[in-house]
Structure 1
């Protein structure tokens, strides 16, 4: 995880005339060197825009490389090469994961009986986003490259009493957000109920108005007829 320290162990013992080099990335950029003959350690932490600055330490007895306060920029291939021997270099593939955000649950849409919710996260990579119903996986989506927004929908009924949670995880950690159906869907349900009520009441209002109009009109007509008779 970002912020951790990692030590790349070689399980070797440096000999008197060894010349050890640590290299990083596909281009094999040198980041550290141990010259045992000269009894000298060199750290090249200004390379690659200084991403290794004040982060590298090497053990002059074992050749182990320690990287402190590691970031995602330090993901990649590391090689430990002994220039004085024909041995195959030690290879380390390091993957550094960023701290995961807590997923956000929001209401997307609603109908007369159901509510559609979205679980979303921003700017994540190498993760899975999943909905769980109780302890069972309901749906899931994964992304490997950096994504501006990752969303996963869930459709529930207003009276649903099951427990749901949205989980964002990578290979070493996870973040969970629990769903409260009542809080997110109640407003939507109330609006729909109000609309249905209005649709039901409005015709009654018109019918009532028509009845009153007819009654008043009839009364007025009767009065006029009475006057004419007199």
Structure 2
């Protein structure tokens, strides 16, 4: 998505109305105005023909009952905005094109999810984690240690997934949190190290279920083999003693 230096940038919060101004005080008799969103025609006004049309059913109807075109200035108003209305608009007056970029900040963001970066056991002293958020736009995802910012990543595109890694020690007693925010809203997820991070000595917790079962089966087999060896050794020693006793009695 290209946003040029001469683009008019406008930001609103979800649910607000916004007007994209043509900067005309009054249209001339031969003026033709067209409004496009992402290269799709959504409204046009031919002053000479006095023809006024709003195409609010295009793009799956995301603009339905939301577009108002000022017949005097050609300015376009979008009511009850949602994040689906964010993006690039083009105003074409006769042969002149003016680009607009609209940002719509979500009132409610999803809660970020913290997960272990790998389900496999590790002999490392560090626990590898990742914080993620899906289908977000115009947000920043950050890791905090207490109140101190550790790392962050921002996105201005529409509806993408974000992820941010973090490594902590297994015995770390500090408090960590992952925060997803935009200028009007934020969501925080706190890290529970004891729940997500286990050393490989806690194999049932640390490893995946399949590996844990394999380890338990192997441990059981080793135990059985040990018992068999001990029984065999006891019986062998008893047989040797019995044989020695018979030999002594015969003599």
Is the pair's TM-score, using the shorter chain for normalization, greater than 0.5?
yes
1:53 aligns with 2:64: yes
Distance 1:66 1:11, change over 3 A: same
**TM-aligned CA deviation for residue 214 of structure 1:** 4.2
Residue 139 of structure 1 is matched in structure 2 by: 151
Matched position secondary structure for 2:197: helix
Once the two structures are superposed, what CA deviation does each residue of 1:21-66 show, in whole Å capped at 9, x if it has no partner? 462347584615495x99x793413464444321012456776532
Instruction: Check the 8 A contact 1:158/1:189 in 2, yes or no.
Output: no
Cα drift, residue 177 of structure 1: 1.5
How far apart, in 1, do the equivalents of 2:40 and 2:19 lie? 19
The answer to whether the 8 A contact 1:133-1:165 is kept is yes
Q: Is 1:77 the equivalent of 2:96?
A: no
Give secondary structure in 1 for the equivalent of 2:104. coil
Q: Does residue 160 in structure 1 map to residue 176 in structure 2?
A: no
Q: Confirm whether residue 118 of structure 1 aligns to residue 130 of structure 2.
A: yes
> Is this contact kept in 1: 2:87–2:102, CA < 8 A?
yes
- The offset of 1:120, in angstroms, is 1.8
Structure 2 match to 1:224: 243
- Give the conservation status (yes or no) of the 8 Å contact 1:34–1:60: no
Question: Counterpart of 2:127 in 1: which secondary structure?
Answer: strand
- Equivalent pairs counted in the alignment come to 224
Unaligned residue ranges in structure 2 (runs of 5+): 1-12, 207-211
**Structure 1 stretches of at least 4 aligned residues deviating more than 6 Å after TM superposition:** 15-20, 192-196, 198-209
- C-alpha contact 1:22 1:80 (8 A) present in aligned 2: yes
Contact 2:43–2:69 (CA under 8 A) maintained in structure 1: no
RMSD: 4.7
Structure 2: distance between partners of 1:15 and 1:193: 71
Q: Which residue of 2 aligns with 1:94?
A: 102
Structure 1 unaligned regions, length at least 5: none
